[in-house]
Structure 1
Amino acid sequence: MRLLEGQVALVTGAGGGIGRGIALRFAEQGAAAVALHCRTSVEAAEEVASRVRESGARAVVLQADLADEDACRELVREASAWGGGLTALVNNAGVQPVRPLPGMTAGEWREVVDTNLTSVFACTQAAAEVMAGGSVTHIASVEAHAPAAGHAHYCASKAAVVMHARSAALEYGPRGIRVNSVSPGLIDREGLAEDWPDGVGRWRDKAPLGRLGSPRDIGDACVFLASPLASWLTGQDLVVDGGMSARPTW
């Protein structure tokens, strides 16, 4: 038996990168159906949907702007109606603009917080109303634990995502809903080494496992958290960073 046999999942931000890796691993591990959310990258999401179907799962692409609370709730309702229920939600959609804190506007702050945090609140709340037990996993970041220059809005939103998972675990536990978060380290993508050679080089030099992460690594973490293997695990943040956070900072 595969770990997610028969599950119905919704993955937000599934058009590429980490979301793609999560959706594919869910399908490969036996999910019966995977709803793939995207905001604008419909073509990329359809390509992921095609690969999900090749793994034997049903797939549908649903568009929504998750900065809109009502759109979040409608997305969950659509996914649940299409799938005949919902057993797993992965809140992966997010943005990561670079903007120095001095001079950052309230509008720029809200754009990141609404997309990265308010969407998590709204999607989770909506999912809990249609789930008869199940799991919710938020994709946070190692920057929830250690800040980076130019990312004050992003770091704050991801730290709040981690705490939201703990709070939701406390309040939704009596309904049989487990809520956890995953904090990825630096995840590889096409062109990253060319775009940021210094950062990639420093990560590889210092990471105990000597490499960047892959979308599959994060997908595996999400599969575990949604599976029966994690049936007594809730309110936790799983840091998936190749051991980087184990390094001393002094």
Structure 2
Amino acid sequence: MADHDDLRAPADLLRLDGRVIVVTGAGGGVGTGIAQRLGAAGATVVAHTRSSPVDHLVDAAGNPVTSVEADLLAPDAPQRIVAAAIDHHGRIDGLVNNAAIANAAPFAELTDDLWSEMIDVNLNATHRLTQAAVRAMQAQGSGGAVVHIASIDGHQPDDGTGHYSTSKAGLLMHARAAAAAYGPDGIRVNSISPGLIDRPSLADDWPDGVSRWHATTPLRRLGTAADVGDACVFLCSDLSRWITGIALVVDGGVLTRPTW
């Protein structure tokens, strides 16, 4: 836990050396970017994946990161993920809840199965893993940081993704509630709401959406996984030592508009 009178240079406050941070969904594009940027800041990353390979991820010394495979809906998943960090590195200092699913369906036609799956993966699993990680941080007595990866859809619902928007809006409030509950233990909980993040073939798969985004967003570009990763570095670092319970929007300014 950072001293409130810490007068190190800002660049030093951003360093994460010696901290063990779990990133869920690390095999995907955004998860990979988060893990890489945390590692570049000095963190020891524990990469969770359900099935995507993470052998491309290396630590600051060029060694493969610790990885753990788990279905987040399995009852033992939270404890197994936390145990992977503690068994390999002796502690856990941070958690980035990035793993999620996204699919489209007309809101009025949502089945119970589609609704439940979205809420279970994006919200319930995050809650359970946060609880498990925080218990370990409390036992250590040295504070910690938790970051939920939400979405601008949690602030403004999009057509066809009402269930996804609802799950991400739940993460925003979960972070605030958890921040209030765990603050006395020196554990900060925040959320990040990314906008549209670029990926291979996105412009081919969704040319209209990409075109509208470029035309509407004040900064005139799509986001990158590194943009999200750098926001995670900030919220996991001592530079944000007096910040908890916030929703950091990382969207190039698109939410300044009524819609895009």
Q: TM-score, normalised by structure 2?
A: 0.90
Does 2:222 align with 1:216? no
SS at match of 1:46: coil
The alpha-carbon distance between structure 1 residues 248 and 108, as it changes in their structure 2 partners (threshold 3 A), is closer
Contact 2:197-2:222 within 8 A present in 1 as well:
yes
Task: Name the counterpart of 2:172.
Answer: 162
User: Contact (CA 8 Å) 2:102, 2:164: kept in 1 or not?
Assistant: yes
Q: Is contact 1:67-1:111 (8 Å) kept?
A: no
The one-letter code of the counterpart of 1:98 is: A
Within 5 A, what are the aligned runs for 1:93-242? 93-131=99-137, 132=141, 133-242=143-252
**1:46 pairs with 43, 52, 55, which one?**
55
Q: Please report how far the alpha carbon of residue 55 of structure 1 lies from its aligned counterpart in structure 2 after TM superposition.
A: 4.6
**Shift, 1:56, TM fit:** 5.0
Contact in 2 for aligned 1:34/1:57 (Cα 8 Å)? no
SS at match of 1:53: coil
Distance 1:201 1:103 in 2: 28
The letter of the residue matching 2:25 is G
- Partner amino acid, structure 2, of 1:68: A
Contact 1:65 1:72 in 2 (8 A): no
Residue 140 of structure 1, CA deviation: 0.2
In structure 2, which of residues 33, 37, 47 is the aligned counterpart of residue 21 of structure 1? 33
Residue 79 (structure 1) aligned with residue 79 (structure 2): no
Q: TM-score, normalised by structure 1?
A: 0.93
- TM superposition shift of 1:5: 1.6
Contact 2:45–2:59 (CA<8 Å) still a contact in 1?
no
Q: Kindly indicate whether the alpha-carbon contact (under 8 Å) linking 1:89 and 1:127 is maintained by their aligned counterparts in 2.
A: yes
Could you tell me how far 1:57 is from its partner in structure 2? Answer: 6.5
Q: Which range is displaced more, 69-78 or 231-240? A: 69-78
Letter in 1 for 2:101: V
SS in 1 for 2:130: helix
The answer to whether structure 1 residue 37 and structure 2 residue 48 are counterparts is yes
Paired amino acid for 1:169: A
User: Residue 17 of structure 2 aligns with which residue?
Assistant: 5
CA distance in 1, matches of 2:86, 2:103: 31
Q: Which amino acid aligns with 1:25?
A: R
SS at match of 2:165: helix
Distance in 2 between residues matched to 1:169 and 1:93, nearest whole Å:
20
Q: In the alignment, residue 164 of structure 1 is paired with which amino acid? A: H
Deviations 1:6-61 (Å, cap 9, x if unpaired)?
A: 11110000002110011000110111x211000011x2x1112xxx2355576111
Q: Judging changes above 3 Å, is the alpha-carbon distance between structure 1 residues 234 and 69 closer, same or farther for their aligned structure 2 residues?
A: farther
2:69 matches 1:63: yes
Match of 2:97 among 91, 104, 124: 91
CA distance in 1, matches of 2:237, 2:147: 11
Partner of 2:107, secondary structure, is coil
The match for 1:246 among 244, 253, 256 is 256
Task: Pick which of 74-83 and 101-110 moved more.
Answer: 74-83
Q: 1:145 to 1:199 in 2, by over 3 A?
A: same
2:3 aligned residue: none
